[in-house]
Amino acid sequence: MIEQIAKELGVSSATVSRALNDRPGVGGELRERILAKARELDYTPGVTARGLATSQTFSVGFFIREKPGIPAQSDPFYSEILHGVEQVAARTDYHITIGTLTDVIIARPADFRFVREKRIDAMILAGPDIPAEFIMAMLKTQTPVILVDNRLSQTHVNCVNSDDDDGAYQAVRHLLGLGHTRIGALAGPANWHSTVQRLNGYRRALDEARLPLQVQHADQTTIDSGQEALARLLERQPDITAVCAVNDSMAIGAIRAARAAGKRVPEDLSVTGFDDIAWATLNEPPLTTVHIPKQQIGKEVILRLIALLNEPDLLPSEIKVPVQLIERRSTARASAS
């Protein structure tokens, strides 16, 4: 259609493209003639045409750290966030490119082809396991970046996170209300932003009650690591009556470890999770957990990213999404013993 307009008006296709995309370099009278001809031909500029005129791909990358055996689209937490991203993107000209960050790419960010070959206009980096060094390398490319479930400790960067501190605080307050005074926590790596924030919330609630928190860290936040972490915690603190896990996968693993140790959940040990993934309701018993509105996070992410693409000078900010404790059957009143 651009070629047809150009032919009928006797101008170049590049001139037509500039006029249709509100770019400089076209005189006022000629611009009006081009726009009038476009209206006459009922022309609507497509993504491809605008991409040629603006050097945009109209593609946004959604990347998580590679997890062996788990495709990016099927991760139970980030797949829901991705769904929220796609719901909003579907109403725009942008499409989402999904990928994983391998250890090789993390170690050699200059080889990240999506940026090197300019295949995307912006990127979403999802997960606390994407290291700061890689994020800083991406920021230096001038490609708009927004983090999900992560934050840099020293550098201001756009990010969208759940209110992890408050969610953890709610979980412990719930256990305190049930009469528990010997409470442990199963945590991920100590340098993850979400781990730090959730431990802050656990401690804040226990400090108010003048009670200590027993923490067991793990290198991952999986069912297996939760199972191993609770086993280790019980070796050190066999008298705990409740445990908070920093995500639902670890909580499910903790329930398995409790049963292996001869403890009933929730009669002998109450367990709380965090995230409220689909598995939380399918577990037996169903998990008491902190619900994160994951699709809302995804929508906030893509809306912020589109704003950055339209206004590159926006100052970096963190959007914090509220969370809510959901009580199910993995917690119960502390026994009198």
Chain-centroid distance, C-alpha 106 = 18
Overall pTM surpassing 0.75 (yes/no): yes
Question: How crowded is residue 160: how many other Cβ atoms within 10 Å of its Cβ?
Answer: 28
Q: What is the mean pLDDT of the chain?
A: 90
Backbone angles phi, psi at 61, to 5 degrees: -85, 135
pLDDT class of 179 with cuts at 50, 70, 90: very high
Same domain, 124 and 171: no
Same domain, 154 and 301: yes
- For the domain that residue 117 is a member of, what is the CATH number? 3.40.50.2300
Q: How far is CA 298 from CA 13, 22, 276, in A?
A: 38, 30, 16
Residue 135's domain comprises: 59-162+295-322
Tell whether 87 is covered by a domain. yes
Same domain, 155 and 11: no
pLDDT surpassing 80 at residue 333: yes
pLDDT surpassing 70 at residue 75: no
Q: What is the pLDDT of residue 25?
A: 74
pLDDT surpassing 50 at residue 49: no
Place of tokens 């912020």: 304
- pLDDT, tens digit, 9 for 90 and up, residues 277-299: 999 999 999 999 999 999 999 99
- pLDDT, tens digit, 9 for 90 and up, residues 243-271: 999 999 999 999 999 999 999 999 999 99
- Cβ(306)–Cβ(277) below 8 Å: no
Q: In angstroms, rounded to a whole number, what is the distance separating the alpha carbons of residues 119 and 125?
A: 16
Candidates 37, 36, 28; CA nearest to 8 is 37
Same domain, 151 and 215: no
Total residues belonging to the chain? 337
Same domain, 206 and 301: no
Q: How many distinct structural domains can be found in the chain? A: 3
Question: How crowded is residue 292: how many other Cβ atoms within 10 Å of its Cβ?
Answer: 26
Q: What is the pLDDT of residue 40?
A: 76
Same domain, 263 and 306: no
Same domain, 288 and 300: no
Q: What is the pLDDT of residue 235?
A: 96
Tell whether 126 is covered by a domain. yes
Per-residue 3-state assignment (H helix, E strand, C coil) for the chain: CHHHHHHHHCCCHHHHHHHHCCCCCCCHHHHHHHHHHHHHCCCCCCHHHHHHHHCCCCEEEEEEECECCECHHHCCCHHHHHHHHHHHHCCCCCEEEEEEECHHHHHCHHHCHHHHCCCCCEEEEECCCCCHHHHHHHHHCCCCEEEECCCCCCCCCCEEEECHHHHHHHHHHHHHHCCCCCEEEEECCCCCHHHHHHHHHHHHHHHHCCCCCEEEECCCCCHHHHHHHHHHHHHHCCCCCEEEECCHHHHHHHHHHHHHCCCCCCCCCEEECCECCHHHHHCCCCCEEEECCHHHHHHHHHHHHHHHHHCCCCCCCEEEECCEEECCCCCCCCCCC
Q: Beta 214-217 vs 242-245: how paired, if at all?
A: unpaired
Tell whether 336 is covered by a domain. no
- pLDDT, tens digit, 9 for 90 and up, residues 187-241: 999 999 999 999 999 999 999 999 999 999 999 999 999 999 999 999 999 999 9
pLDDT surpassing 90 at residue 163: yes
Same domain, 214 and 180: yes
